[in-house]
Chain A
Amino acid sequence: MRLHRLAKHYFAALGVALLALPFIVDAMFGHGWVRIADFALLYIMLALGLNIVVGYAGLLDLGYIAFFAVGAYTYALLGSPQFGLHWPMWAVLPLGALFACGFGVLLGAPTLRLRGDYLAIVTLGFGEIIRIFMNNLNAPVNITNGPQGISGIDPLRVADFSFGKAHEWFGVEFAAVHLHYYLFLAFTLLVIFVSLRLQHSRIGRAWMAIREDEVAASAMGINTRNVKLLAFAMGATFGGISGGLFAGFQGFVSPESFSLMESVMVLCMVVLGGMGNIAGVVLGGVLLVVLPEAFRHGAGPMQQALFGKTVVDPESLRMLMFGLALILVMLWRPAGLWPSAQRRRELMPDEAVAQQERDTVYDVSK
């Protein structure tokens, strides 16, 4: 792939900015915000995984967080005092991804013939089933420790290098959140790379063909069963990796982190950012993690300054504004904030192009 010279400079600048980001954020807003950046990266990974299922293949999945949960619990069970197992990260993360992949196929298999509302409710039910099992698998045999969750999970560690402790290189101190940031950034870039390569591959185009018209796609010789299963498996794998990283980062998992609301949140990132467009999904992920946090910190003091007292509780105001913002974006930009070129053409047709199409493509006499 040959890059334009300008594009090369652009990518170099972007790379430096991404590497320097945790230090800038730390200096400007404090440690807590670096942590939020870490979470943003985790959510971006999730959103990119869901983007494969929803954005590329057009299969509405409302239980996506279940795969995140599978990845997280795999890591938690194999690397915590719960069973006394302390497997290394390089063994547990791929295993979590593999389990999530298996669950993806498990969900995909019975839903192959379903569409629209039917698919949505079944995926939603699947997500709930996983969560309820994790909530209740503490009796008669204690596996997941039930609603109390699993704590004391091993930090992410490669050989002797632990991401959970601060390290010092060249006189610069890298705190644990900084190290996690770089680790997550590497994984996110990997996921972006895979997504990009998939998008224009044979498989990616098959997914898009299914999204546009399943009957036509199967008439063109696409094996819709395998390709749909692959979409579920692929999306679930990304979710599983993200889940494992989450468990190692947080050190604690409980079924509460995997409620339906989380699935909806990830879906919002995909839809708000722009379905099927990687840059849009990344943007959606960043916005939906950072904005609510900024609101949480900003709403209280702002009200103090404006009215002299806190009129509305910032926590409830947060969800209110979130809903409002979502509606407004969907009204003004129905294809998302940064849609893919194709969706933009579909949802915001250019009149001149449409006219030309009507004149030349559909008119047999010309």
Chain B
Amino acid sequence: MGFMLGLKAFTAAVLGGIGNLRGAMLGGVLLGLIESLGAGYIGDLTGGFLGSNYQDVFAFFVLIAVLVFRPSGLLGERVAERA
């Protein structure tokens, strides 16, 4: 249980942008909302094909989708090329 929680914390931080305070807060709120709402409505949206047991899939899928378009998170600055 605690393991998944730590994982979600990391996910939220990455979603907002690592090293960015506001990003971490935004990421946390967004991830929580998306995950809960997604888990609640996914059954209706897919006609009962996917249930709330896909909650974590939903969270990670959103993360991947966001990072595809913003590779350094929502509020993260562009990652410096290696020093």
- Closest A residue by C-beta to B47: A140
**A17 in contact (CB, < 8 A):** no
CA distance A124 to B63 in the complex (A): 11
Number of residues from A at the complex interface, CB < 8 A: 25
Which of B10, B11, B60 is A129 in contact with, Cβ under 8 Å? Answer: B60
Q: Is the CB of B54 within 8 A of A114?
A: no
Interface of A is mostly: helix
Query: Contacts A118-B67, A118-B72 hold; do A125 and B18 have CB atoms under 8 A apart?
Result: no
A to B contact number (C-beta, < 8 Å): 62
Number of residues from B at the complex interface, CB < 8 A: 26
Q: Is the CB of B10 within 8 A of A121?
A: yes
**Quick one: which of A125, A135, A140 has the most chain B CB within 10 A?**
A125
Encode contact with A along B49-83: 1 for CB under 8 Å, 0 otherwise.
10101101101110110011001110000010110
Which of B10, B11, B49, B81 is A140 in contact with, Cβ under 8 Å? Answer: B49
Which of A113, A116, A128, A139 is B56 in contact with, Cβ under 8 Å? Answer: A128
Q: Is the CB of B67 within 8 A of A122?
A: yes
Q: Is the CB of A121 within 8 A of B54?
A: no
**Quick one: which of B49, B59, B71 has the most chain A CB within 10 A?**
B71
**B5 in contact (CB, < 8 A):** no
**A117 in contact (CB, < 8 A):** yes
Q: Nearest Cβ in chain B — how far from A131, in angstroms?
A: 9
Query: Contacts A110-B67, A113-B71 hold; do A121 and B57 have CB atoms under 8 A apart?
Result: no
Q: Is the CB of B54 within 8 A of A110?
A: no
**A215 in contact (CB, < 8 A):** yes
Q: Is the CB of B54 within 8 A of A118?
A: no
**A136 in contact (CB, < 8 A):** yes
- Closest A residue by C-beta to B10: A121
Q: Is the CB of A118 within 8 A of B14?
A: yes
Q: Nearest Cβ in chain A — how far from B69, in angstroms?
A: 10
**B1 in contact (CB, < 8 A):** no
Q: Nearest Cβ in chain B — how far from A35, in angstroms?
A: 29
Q: Is the CB of B72 within 8 A of A132?
A: no
Cβ contacts under 8 Å, B68 to chain A: 110, 113
Encode contact with B along A51-62: 1 for CB under 8 Å, 0 otherwise.
000000000000
Q: Nearest Cβ in chain B — how far from A65, in angstroms?
A: 15
CA distance A135 to B54 in the complex (A): 10
Cβ contacts under 8 Å, A115 to chain B: 71, 79
Cβ contacts under 8 Å, B61 to chain A: 125, 129
Query: Contacts A113-B71, A114-B71, A118-B71 hold; do A140 and B48 have CB atoms under 8 A apart?
Result: yes
CA distance A135 to B53 in the complex (A): 9
Q: Nearest Cβ in chain B — how far from A116, in angstroms?
A: 7
- Closest B residue by C-beta to A110: B68
Encode contact with A along B5-43: 1 for CB under 8 Å, 0 otherwise.
001001100100010000000000000000000000000
**A256 in contact (CB, < 8 A):** no
Q: Is the CB of A132 within 8 A of B67?
A: no
8 contacts between A and B (CB under 8 A): A115-B71, A116-B79, A124-B7, A132-B53, A132-B57, A136-B54, A140-B49, A215-B82
Give 10 new A-B contacts, CB below 8 A, not counting A122-B64, A132-B54.
A113-B71, A115-B79, A118-B67, A121-B10, A122-B63, A125-B63, A126-B60, A129-B57, A129-B61, A132-B53
Which positions in A face B, CB cutoff 8 Å?
110-111, 113-118, 121-122, 124-126, 128-129, 132-133, 135-136, 139-140, 213-215, 260
